[in-house]
Structure 1
Amino acid sequence: MELILASVLTPLQGLTAAFTLLLIYLIVNEIFRWRAENPGFNGPRGLPIAGNLLQLQVNAPEILRRWSEKYGDVYQIQLGNTPVLVVNTAAAAKELFAHQGHALNSRPTFYTFYKIVGKTSGITIGTSPISPELKQRRRAAASALNKRAVSGYSPLLHLETNLLVKDILDAGGSGSRQINPMPLVRRFALSVILTINWGTSITSDDKSLFEEITEVEAGIVSTRSVMENLQDFIPILRLNLFSVRSHQAQRWRERRDVYLNRLDSDLRQKIEKKVHRPCIQSNTIFDEAEKLAPKDLRIISTSMIQGGTGTISGTLSWALLFLSQNLEAQTKVQREIAAQFSNPVEVLRESATAGLDISGSLYLHALGMECLRYFTVLRLSLPRESSGDCTYQGRHIPAGSVVFLNAWACNRDAAVWEDPDEFRPERWQEQPEAPLFTYGMGYRMCAGTALANRELELVLLKILACFDILPGTGQKPDASPLTGSSNVKESGRFPRAYEVLFKVHDLEGMNSVFV
């Protein structure tokens, strides 16, 4: 009898002990979460352990925007164990990131991206916490990406944008069949970055390298995503040795190391043979005043390659889909182009466009700005961490606080725009000094803004000079940035796959350029 009782009590005691430990963990964790909150800011209540994470699993930027109507321009959410202040209006962003940018100049180090991916591949300049080394890396990148440097890249950009036009012409059978332009746009954007950073381009024939980089970098971007990595905010999940997310991140890191090592090795061989082309990596290697360690060079490389697979390729993918359903916007740009160029062939000539100041093309510039605003492909800007104390409307924000800039909400601020949810390029002619939040704001905003803007406007110029973009047959694709994204979580970067028809304006003339 005693043996029977013992055999029954032992499992019960084990279950009781496990339940007791779980209860103690829940209580201690909730006390920790409560004490970590900033008492100066209110916000939506969440669940134990998860906080607001489960409420933000679909289209988080838009949900955060709607919550601001109830909780104010700056309010607090709880992502697992991490309290986060969310900035949702242009005025609040200016007060915090522009006027107090010195105190909001660092980045939080979330587990998946920093501890797993960043272990060997290195983090990027944009995601690095503040440090003396970061300042040196930023100087090196800024000197390679400022307006003067971008002007020097004009022959490269002319060549790459012409190759994109040729890719579209070939893939579309000279206008005879509809195509999905997104892979072509991604190849273009990646090739620009590879050439600028390593002095090597990527053609349409380099499918294996292109597909590998595109797939891996998309995966790595997802490890920075706030909503796709629950283990970043719920520490107990990191104890799972079979975590699919952790293994994915590790594998992406290993695959990235392969092609980064290959690109670095190829460049070193060219340098030894004195056949290399000037590029960021070679210039930095030979710059005695800015001598960087191998780790710093790798961080610059990861920064460039992430940029080459992100903002511009995403914005152009959305823009071409949207323009296919908005012929009026195409016509306005084409009229403006016709006033400056006699035919598409002239647009494709380097002598005409290599040094062209596209900002003088008012509607074309406005179209590019509106695409950046309306689609906002990085909708939650990279999170900030305060390196010092700051305040918002008299409320204290201590050092170590995590702050999100909701670029999606700020770009749709009704205090800036009367019709924020409409696609209307003319707004940038009416308010040319209005703020744009797609690249972030303040000290940590994207260093490649000048290059990205130049790429975007030059591509729109050449494509709209050479083609009419017509909707494909079949079901009409969803061009709404709210409902048409391929990623239901944070959304933004790319629309779902679609096809359009590129109707050629001057086939004979274009063929004469590409012979």
Structure 2
Amino acid sequence: MRKISTLHLFSPKQVQSSYPIFRDEVRKIMEKISRDASSSTVVNFSETTMSLLRNIMVRLVFGVHGGDRLNVLLREVLVIYAAFFVEDYLPSLRWIDRLSGMAAALDKIFHKLDSFCQELIEEHMNPNRPKSMESDFIGSLLRIKENGSSSFPLTLNHIKAVLVDILMGGSDTVENAIVWTMTWLMKKPLVMKKLQEEIRRLGGKKDMIDNQDIEKLPYLRAVIKEAFRLYPPAPLPVPRETTTKCTVNGYEIEGGTMVYINVWAIGRDPAAWENADEFLPERFLEGQNPELVTFGFGRRGCPGMGMTMAEVELVMANLVYKFNWELPVGMKEEDIDFECKPGAALHKKNDLCLVATVVI
């Protein structure tokens, strides 16, 4: 499944072919922000970003517009993802989850997800489906299933599992990355100024920054990496399991042990990072190459990293290119908070609300 994801869903070619969708949705959100700016309406940046990324995800995965039902479903799934199940840690006490109602809640959301994915797959198998469905993720997976090009018999259940992983990992992570990056830029106005100078010097009077321009914006990439370091979208990625007994730093770890990798702690380790708690994008420039493990590493690294970076870069480049951003009246830089919601993903607890001014 990883090979299928890497070669077919998130390959460099697929990322390039997805840029028209990215640009189209970014253009729409810029038009909305422009309307808000003309009336001096405060922009709920968190909600705006969530809407943008969900629309992109729906078009990439389903090949269609809209996703209200998906948004409701994802909110329910995120709650159960972050919930505590006794069985995960003490399997012999799984009866506690049944008594508490957690097992029933999990079963209910599973059936909702399964039905949702089944409906989508059936729509894609309809001969009269829209042409846009032929090149989306579901269409690609169904073609692989039909022509038998995978190294194992791909089933509809496999396809459903991949869809759930993509939906859960592909919207919240990108949304959080953009919100935290903008939060830091509002906290660090000199960094914002330097970034806008870089982008606007390159963009001139263009309507939008495109993907070819991104290659020429090293400071933009440094800013995004620094935000990923301090606020990784998933501070505790998907847990691993040891295959055999091993020793780590003098501790004996039995085979079959569930292992969590603390990406949050790695990104803030003072032994690895100078001024670890400071937002300093320059650390990623001038030949420095600190190791960033936000997306995992090695064979178990996230196959969607290229797609995620492409989305974050294009969105951030255009939002700071097209607009100047200010805090709402009465709010100061020291009022900007960095509190997080509990959960599997690192959501900002309080929505980021800003005032935009059109400059390009």
**How would you bin the TM-score normalised by the shorter chain?**
0.7 to 0.9
1:147 deviation in Å?
A: 2.6
1:149 maps onto 2:14 in alignment? yes
Percent identity of equivalent pairs: 21
* Residues 495 and 166 of structure 1: CA distance in aligned 2, closer, same or farther (over 3 Å): farther
Q: Measure the CA separation in 2 of the matches of 1:270 and 1:429.
A: 51
Taking the aligned partners of 1:237 and 1:294, their CA distance within structure 2 comes to 29
Counterpart for residue 492 of structure 1: 346
Is 2:359 aligned against 1:505? yes
- C-alpha displacement of 1:462: 0.4
What is the CA distance between 1:166 and its match in structure 2? 2.4
Which residue pairs with 2:102 in the alignment?
245
**Distance between the aligned counterparts of 2:81 and 2:31, measured in 1?**
29
- Secondary structure of the residue aligned to 2:212 is coil
- Counterpart CA distance in 2 for 1:446 and 1:240 is 31
SS in 2 for 1:503: strand
Hey, what's the Cα distance between the residues in 2 that align with 1:367 and 1:275? Answer: 34
- TM-score normalised by the chain length of structure 2: 0.87
- Matches for 1:211-226 after TM superposition, within 5 Å: 211-223=71-83
Alpha-carbon deviation of 1:184?
Answer: 2.0
**Residues 1:407 and 2:263 aligned together:** yes
Matches within 5 A, 1:347-426: 347-348=207-208, 353=210, 355-356=211-212, 358-393=214-249, 396-426=252-282
In structure 2, the residue matched to 1:185 is 49
Q: TM-score, normalised by structure 1?
A: 0.63
Instruction: Pick closer, same or farther for the CA change 1:266–1:182 going to 2, 3 Å.
Output: farther
Note closer, same or farther for the CA distance 1:267–1:478 as it changes in structure 2 (3 Å cut): farther
Does 2:27 correspond to 1:162?
yes
After superposition, give the CA deviation of every residue in 1:19-69 in whole Å (9 maximum; x if it has no partner): xxxxxxxxxxxxxxxxxxxxxxxxxxxxxxxxxxxxxxxxxxxxxxxxxxx
1:302 equivalent in structure 2: 164
SS in 2 for 1:419: coil
Q: What is the CA distance between 1:499 and its match in structure 2?
A: 1.5
Match of 1:107 in 2: none
Alpha-carbon contact 2:98-2:104 (below 8 Å) kept:
no
- Superposed CA deviations along residues 375-409 of structure 1, whole A, max 9, x for unmatched, are 11211122110123444356554421222211001
Correspondence 1:100-499 to 2 at 5 A: 137-143=1-7, 144-170=9-35, 172-174=36-38, 176-202=40-66, 208-223=68-83, 228-234=84-90, 235-236=92-93, 238-239=95-96, 241-269=98-126, 276-287=133-144, 288=147, 289-290=149-150, 292-343=154-205, 346-348=206-208, 353=210, 355-356=211-212, 358-393=214-249, 396-430=252-286, 432-474=288-330, 479-481=336-338, 484-487=339-342, 492-499=346-353
Report the alpha carbon displacement of residue 417 of structure 1 after superposing the two structures with TM.
Answer: 1.3
| Alignment deviations for residues 335-356 of structure 1 (CA, whole Å, 9 cap, x no partner) | 111221112xx142xxx61x41
* Residue pair 1:347, 1:462 contacting (<8 A) in 2 also: no
Q: 1:7-29: CA deviations, max 9, x gaps?
A: xxxxxxxxxxxxxxxxxxxxxxx
CA shift, 1:243, in A, is 1.4
CA distance in 2, matches of 1:180, 1:295: 38
Cα pair distance change 1:196/1:271, threshold 3 Å:
farther
Give me the whole-angstrom Cα distance separating, in 1, the residues matched to 2:248 and 2:34: 53
Structure 1 residue 258: deviation in Å?
A: 3.9
Matches of 1:271 and 1:388, distance apart in 2: 51
Contact 1:378 1:493 in 2 (8 A): no
2-side partners of 1:494 and 1:165: how far apart? Answer: 22
Query: 1 CA distance for matches of 2:336 and 2:177?
Result: 12
| Residue-by-residue CA offset, 1:460-486 (whole Å, 9 max, x unaligned) | 1000011112112356686454xx112
> Hey, what's the Cα distance between the residues in 2 that align with 1:272 and 1:210?
19
Partner letter of residue 150 of structure 1? V
TM-aligned CA deviation for residue 430 of structure 1: 4.0
2-structure distance, mates of 1:443, 1:157: 28
Listed as ranges, the gaps of 5+ residues in structure 2 are none
Q: Distance in 2 between matches of 1:242 and 1:394?
A: 39
CA distance in 2: counterparts of 1:315 and 1:245, whole angstroms: 30
- For 2:349 and 2:130, how far apart are their aligned partners in 1? 44
Distance in 2 (alpha carbons) for counterparts of 1:182 and 1:347: 24
Instruction: Give yes or no for contact 1:330–1:468 (8 Å, CA) kept in 2.
Output: no
Q: 1:479 to 1:440 in 2, by over 3 A?
A: farther
Letter in 2 for 1:400: G
Pair 498,275 (structure 1): closer, same or farther in 2 beyond 3 Å: closer
User: Does the CA-based 8 Å contact 2:263-2:293 persist in structure 1?
Assistant: yes
For the 8 Å contact 2:81–2:344, the answer to whether it is kept is no
Structure-2 separation of matches of 1:240 and 1:292:
32
Q: What SS does the corresponding residue of 1:153 show, helix, strand or coil?
A: helix
- Tell me the CA shift for residue 364 of structure 1: 0.5
SS in 1 for 2:324: strand
Contact 1:318 1:375 in 2 (8 A): yes
| Alpha-carbon distance in 2 for matches of 1:378, 1:479 | 22
1:357 deviation in Å? 5.2
Q: Is the 1:194–1:200 Cα contact (8 Å) retained in structure 2?
A: yes
Q: Distance in 2 between matches of 1:495 and 1:179?
A: 17
- The answer on whether the counterparts of 2:246 and 2:254 sit within 8 Å (CA) in structure 1 is yes
Give the Cα–Cα distance (whole angstroms) in 2 for the partners of residues 440 and 257 of structure 1.
28
Question: Does the C-alpha gap of structure 1 residues 500 and 361 become closer, same or farther in structure 2, counting only changes over 3 Å?
Answer: same
Report the Cα distance in structure 1 between the residues aligned to 2:119 and 2:38, rounded to whole angstroms. Answer: 35
CA contact (8 A) 2:177 2:228 kept: yes
RMSD: 2.6
Determine the C-alpha separation between the residues in 1 that align with 2:359 and 2:263: 37
Residue 179 and residue 232 in structure 1: after superposition, are their counterparts in 2 closer, same or farther (change >3 A)?
same
| Unmatched segments (≥5 aa) in structure 1 | 1-136, 507-515
Q: In the alignment, residue 189 of structure 2 is paired with which amino acid? A: L
